[in-house]
Structure 1
C-alpha cells in the first residue's frame, strides 16, 4: 500500500491579538495538525473559538492587530511563514486556495461573475483558450448546483443571492484544481442537500 503524501503540516502555531497598551492576548495556542493527499479535515468550534483566524493563518492572510507569533505551517515541506511574499502569492490560487465565509464583497461588482473567474483561470493557466476556460467555469457552476449556470455566468454580483455568491466563490477556488483548499464555514448559506453535494465535490 502506498503511503499518503503529507500536504500540510502545522506545528506549535500561536496567533496573538495586539491590544495596544494592554499587551497581547493569545487567540490560538500551539495548534498542531496535518493533512494528507485526498484527506478532508473538519474543525468544529463555537462562534469566537478561532476557526476563521486559523483558516486565514493557514494561507498567511492574518493581518494586524492579529499576528502569527510562532510556529510552522509547512506546505509540502516548505514553511509558508518563511517564504518571501512573491512566492507566497504565487502559491495562492494555484496550489493553495481559500474560500472565506463572507462572499458579499469578494468580487468586482462591475464585471460578470463568470468573466471574473475566467480571468483568474487564464492568469494562472495562460495557455488555456477562452472557450475552454468558459466551459470549465460553467461546468463547475453546474457542479455546485448553481441554478441556470450558463445564464448566471454572464450576470453581475448584485444579481446573485448570498447562497449563489458562496457557490461562485467555491467555483473560483476550485477552478484551478488546487492541491490544498482551505474553506471557512462555506456551507452556512446553503441548504443541507446542496451543502452535502458541495462537500463531496
Structure 2
C-alpha cells in the first residue's frame, strides 16, 4: 500500500547555529492508510519534536536542518499557506494534557463544534452538533447527548482524553498524531484508549502516528 505520510532523513536542531543541539538525527518512517506506527522512547528523547516535524508544526527555536515530509506525495515543507490550511483539516493532533486542552468556561460539545465549523464552514450548526454527538458515542462516552452540554470540569481524565480524540476526528482527518495520549491516565483507562484508537482506524480509515514513553 502506498504511503500516506512519509518522513525522510529528518534532522532537527535546537537553534540555527552549527553547534546547536541536535534533537532528531536522520529519522525516517512511512505511514500508510489505516496503519498505526508506534514511536517509543524515553522522556526528552525527541518524540514530540518528531510528531510535530512530521506535520510541519515546529516552532522556534526548533529548526529543521534537513529532511523531507511527503503527504500524499506532496512536500509539506514546500506548501503555500493556503495548502497548509487544507492540510490541517486532514491531519489532527492529540496531546497528553487533556484537562488543560479546552476552555473550562464553555461546554465540551460547543467547543468541538466551534472547531469543526471553523475548518468546515459549510456545515450547519445542527449537522455539526449531530456529528459531534455521534463521535462522542463512538468513543464510548456514556449518555453522549447530555454529556455534549457538560463542562470540562465534569469530565474525568479518561473521558476528557476521549473527548479530545473526538475533537481530533471531527474533521475526518486522514492522519491522527497521538502524542503521549496515555501518559496522564491510569493503566486501565490507558488500555481502553489504545483499544479505542485501534477500533477508530478501522471505523474511520484514519492512519495513526502513536507516540509513547518507554
Q: Distance in 2 between matches of 1:134 and 1:12?
A: 42
Name the structure 2 match of 1:14: 11
- Say if 1:19 and 1:25, in contact at 8 Å, map to a contact too: no
Residue 195 of structure 2 corresponds to which residue in structure 1? 196
Counterpart for residue 181 of structure 1: 176
Number of the residue aligned with 1:103: 98
State the alpha-carbon separation in 2 of the partners of residues 104 and 27 from structure 1: 28
1:134 is aligned to 2:129: yes
| Residue pair 1:96, 1:181 contacting (<8 A) in 2 also | yes
The TM-score normalised by the length of structure 1 is: 0.87
| Corresponding pairs, count | 196
CA distance 1:74–1:191, change in 2 (3 Å): closer
Is residue 2:158 matched to residue 1:163?
yes
Compared with structure 1, are the counterparts of its residues 106 and 89 closer, same or farther at alpha carbon in structure 2 (3 Å cutoff)?
Answer: farther
1:150 aligns with 145
| Unaligned ranges ≥5, structure 1 | none
The match for 2:208 is none
Partner of 1:51: 47
What corresponds to 1:60 in structure 2?
56
What secondary structure sits across from 1:24 in the alignment? coil
Q: CA deviation at 1:162?
A: 2.2
Distance 1:195 1:35 in 2: 18
Greater RCO, 1 or 2 (C-alpha within 8 Å, sep 6+): 2
List 4+ stretches of structure 1 deviating above 6 A.
none
Structure 1 residues 194 and 66: CA distance shift in structure 2, 3 A: closer
Q: After superposition, what is the alpha-carbon deviation per residue over 1:62-108, rounded to whole angstroms, capped at 9, x for unaligned?
A: 2122222211011112111122334213311x111111122233222
The residue matched to 2:4 in structure 1 has which SS?
strand
C-alpha separation in 1, matches of 2:16 and 2:87: 31
> Any idea what SS the aligned residue of 2:28 has?
strand
1:200, 1:102 → 2: CA distance? Answer: 22
